[in-house]
Amino acid sequence: MAIIKSTYMLALTVLLLPITANAIPIELISNGDFETGNFAGWTEVNTGSANASINNGTYVPASPTGANVPIGGSFDAVFDQTSASLSSLFQQVILPTSAVVSSTISWDDRLFNHNGTWGPAPLQTFAVNIETLTGVSLLSLFNSSGALTQAGPNNRSFDVTSFVNANLGASVQLSFENQAQRFFLTSYLDNVSWTSEAQVPEPGALALLGIGLAGMGLTRRQRKV
């Protein structure tokens, strides 16, 4: 009887131990560093004279900005125009179906606003949004403000854990918009990332759980004998 009780108590103790877990990061963006040398994985939509181009350090914008080396690696993206226009670069993302412990969107940029100010009416802005697949904004992450020249490179990072957990399994798009309605706005973009981390039990924790369940089963069988 003492052996049965000891086995039972050991099994119960194991089952009550906290199950430790590793956070496994998952990257939701493809070709976020543009190192393919093109916009594979991305969709580009332009109005007016706007365009988004791949820059290898030799691209010279129409604005007075001049050529810039890529922010990282061999390539980055550059938004350019010769008159009032809007350029959008976006990628469809399928959100995780299970709850995450963290989710972060980040990117690097350089901003060169050759107008005297940022702002609305008419729009002069570099903006980043999470949108529906039809372009309706769900969450505004960034709207340019402050210094007109932000040569950086500037690293931007935003916690979107709550948004992801509220929209599990949804299809959305991450959109970068360069809108120049007043004068030249040349923007560079690189290292776009959207990572989400889910808790995955460690193998050792799963083994302990198995031992606990086996011990409980053994105790039950011993009591029946």
The CATH number of the domain holding residue 84 is: 2.60.120.260
pLDDT at 119: 87
Predicted model pTM:
0.80
pLDDT digits (tens, 9 = 90+) for 123-164: 999 999 999 999 999 999 999 999 999 999 999 999 999 999
Same domain, 153 and 55: yes
> Are 196 and 206 found together in one domain?
no
pLDDT digits (tens, 9 = 90+) for 11-68: 445 444 555 456 688 999 999 999 999 999 999 999 999 999 999 999 999 999 999 9
| Tally of domains in the chain | 2
Based on the domain organization, do 69 and 176 belong to the same domain? yes
CA distance 203 to 170: 30
Same domain membership, residue 158 and residue 184: yes
Same domain, 5 and 82: no
Contact status, residue 146 vs residue 94, Cβ threshold 8 Å: no
Task: Show the domain range for 103.
Answer: 25-200
Residues 186 and 211 in one domain: no
pLDDT in tens, 202-225: 554 444 445 544 544 544 554 454
- Tally Cβ neighbours within 10 Å of residue 39: 16
Same domain? For 151 and 208 the reply is no
